[in-house]
Amino acid sequence: STMEKKFFLCVLLFWAVPDVQPASDVWAIDVPSTIPAVQGECVLIPCWYTYPTTKIVLNRWMGFWKRGNTIVSTNLKKWKLAKEFNKRTEFVGALQVGNCSMLLHSVRTTDVGPFYLQVRIPQFKSFTFTENKVSIDVIREHFWKYVGLFEDLKIKGLYILDTVRAYCSVLHSCPSAPPRFSWSQAGVTATWSKQINLWMWKTESVLEFVPDSLDFNPVLNCSVVYRGGKTAKSSVAFWVVYLIDFSCFSPHVENKSLHHE
């Protein structure tokens, strides 16, 4: 039988720089209105913006993420943030190419926002996107995705010495630091990630192993350790078919056994 849980976690999100340049006819921004994040983990607020075209040569951009009047994050390296956000935020976007993304570490229950962006271009203009705020839906527990067996899960009967592939996957929001997987069974593992949307990734671990009658445990566990140190586990159980190869016995022994019956 399988035991399913769902979980959700935190990792840094990057995507390709769009073909369009940040300069346009108007100030505009593209951010989600709400992002889910797990308490204690990290979350990225994806952000792209444009500003009006100008003939002025621009060489400096200043960005500020705010919550009310409090500056939460900035691209100015020497800026001293409030104690609540000091060393917990990173302005990971490059404003000169239109990227205004912010990373928030160790999410707290008080980090719900809403947050908004202010851009200052000293040689040009400034703009505050107060009409485009982002809220964080802070979740207290992780959400498991699933753990199972490729194809073999349907029949539940695995033959000794057959190669088995098991998989375990999770959803998270910080691709720069995805969760670490471990299995209760020794074997060959591979892990990869796939972007689901602008702020969510799916990371999957696949285990390939050969059941052995001496050390094989029919309950397979997949454990995950998150960046914040929290752990989670899911399991799948199945039975193994043991085949007897009668070619190992001599005809004389087999005939003798049958004669006595």
The reported pLDDT for the residue numbered 167 is 80
Q: Are 161 and 153 in contact (CB under 8 A)?
A: no
- 């799916």: which residue's tokens? 202
Residue 44 is inside which H or E element, if any? strand 43-45
User: Does 98 score more than 70 pLDDT?
Assistant: yes
- The token pair that represents 187 in the structure block: 């074997």
Mean pLDDT of 138-161: 51
% of the chain surpassing 70 pLDDT: 70
The model's confidence at residue 115, banded by pLDDT at 50, 70 and 90, is very high
The dihedral sign for the CA sequence 88, 173, 5, 153: negative
Longest alpha-carbon distance in the chain: 104
Q: What percent of the chain has pLDDT over 90?
A: 29
Which CATH class, in words, describes the domain spanning 148-241? mainly beta
**Per-domain boundaries in the chain:** 7-139, 148-241
CATH architecture of the domain with range 7-139: Sandwich (2.60)
pLDDT recorded at residue 49: 94
Under the banding of pLDDT at 50, 70 and 90, the label for residue 131 is: very high
Which pLDDT does position 141 carry in this prediction?
65
pLDDT of residue 70: 94
Which residue is associated with the tokens 């969760």?
179
Please say whether the dihedral angle defined by the alpha carbons of residues 201, 205, 206 and 211, taken in this order, is positive or negative.
negative
Domains 7-139 and 148-241 share a fold: yes
- The string of pLDDT tens digits covering residues 7-47 is 333 223 333 334 335 666 789 999 999 988 878 888 889 99
Report, in this order, helix, strand and coil percent for the chain, each rounded to 5.
10, 45, 50
Angle ∠(140,219,232) on CA atoms, nearest 5: 15
